[in-house]
Amino acid sequence: MLKVGVAALVLSLLWVVAYKFVSPPITGMMVYKWWNQENYSIDYRWQDLEEIDSSLPLAFISSEDQKFLDHNGFDVAAIKKAIESNKGAKKIRGASTISQQVAKNVFLLPTKSYFRKGLEVYFTFLIELVWGKERIMEVYVNVVELGEGVYGAEAAAQKYFKKSANKLSRNDAALMATALPNPLIYKLKKPSGYMLKRQQWVLRQMRNLGGEALLSEWYE
């Protein structure tokens, strides 16, 4: 058992190190959905971060995880707030950071168990340690689901905005962020009134955080 445990640790570390330099050919989320849904097609087109307009990672940070650049993978304050909010609540509120979402979607299957959650914590710690924020964001904008079978910025930009991800405007980026965290309900193909209203909120948050200058060193 000890040898198996050590082997698992070594292999998981090598896996994370490999993905620091190599684009993930497929993710756990993609595999899970392909296996469980009949005739499920995957549209996944990797683009390096420099080939994606800087407004998009800014919009994702503004919408999903405003402390992304500062935390170590976990937003402790948000977790505590979610725990209090979820006491007796019918609708469970999440507190996952972008780093946690990457760890879960890339390396794991979206099952619900304490063991899976423990692995999510482990992989989140590893990618924060090995990859750093720029690589975590690069992977996130490429693997995040933005529609049924549509993964990443380039696939979504081509499908919904008829342009490449490096041509996205601020408005496009903010609207794309409104599809999260549930792109099967919040559909970019036909944005709801709620999505258009939230788009304006995301744009305000993008300005409040300092605009694209916040991420300028990633694009030098």
For residue range 55-92, list pLDDT tens digits in order. Answer: 999 999 999 999 999 999 998 887 777 666 665 655 55
Preceding omega of 181 cis (within 30 degrees of 0):
yes
Query: Using an 8 Å Cβ cutoff, are 34 and 40 in contact?
Result: yes
Stretches in the chain below the pLDDT threshold 50: none
The pLDDT of residue 45 is 97
pLDDT at 17: 98
Quote the CATH superfamily of domain 25-219: Biosynthetic peptidoglycan transglycosylase-like (1.10.3810.10)
Amino acid identity, residue 199? Q
pLDDT at residue number 84: 66
Q: Rounded CA gap, 130 and 58, in Å?
A: 22
What residues contact 148, with CB distance under 8 A and at least 6 apart?
183, 184
The CA-CA-CA angle for residues 11, 8, 130, to 5°, reads: 50
Domain ranges of the chain: 25-219
CA distance 116 to 147: 24
Question: What pLDDT score does 181 carry?
Answer: 86
Total count of residues recorded for the chain? 220
d(CA 111, CA 7): 24
Helix (H, G, I), strand (E, B) or coil at 28: helix
pLDDT, residue 220, reads 77
Confidence at residue 205, expressed as pLDDT on a 0 to 100 scale: 98
pLDDT (0 to 100) of residue 94: 60
Joined tokens for residue 64: 């999903």
Q: Assess contact for 158 and 47: CB atoms under 8 A.
A: no
The β-bridge partners of 147 are 150
Structure tokens at 217: 């060193």
Dihedral angle at the C-alpha atoms of 134, 137, 143, 146, nearest 10 degrees?
A: -150
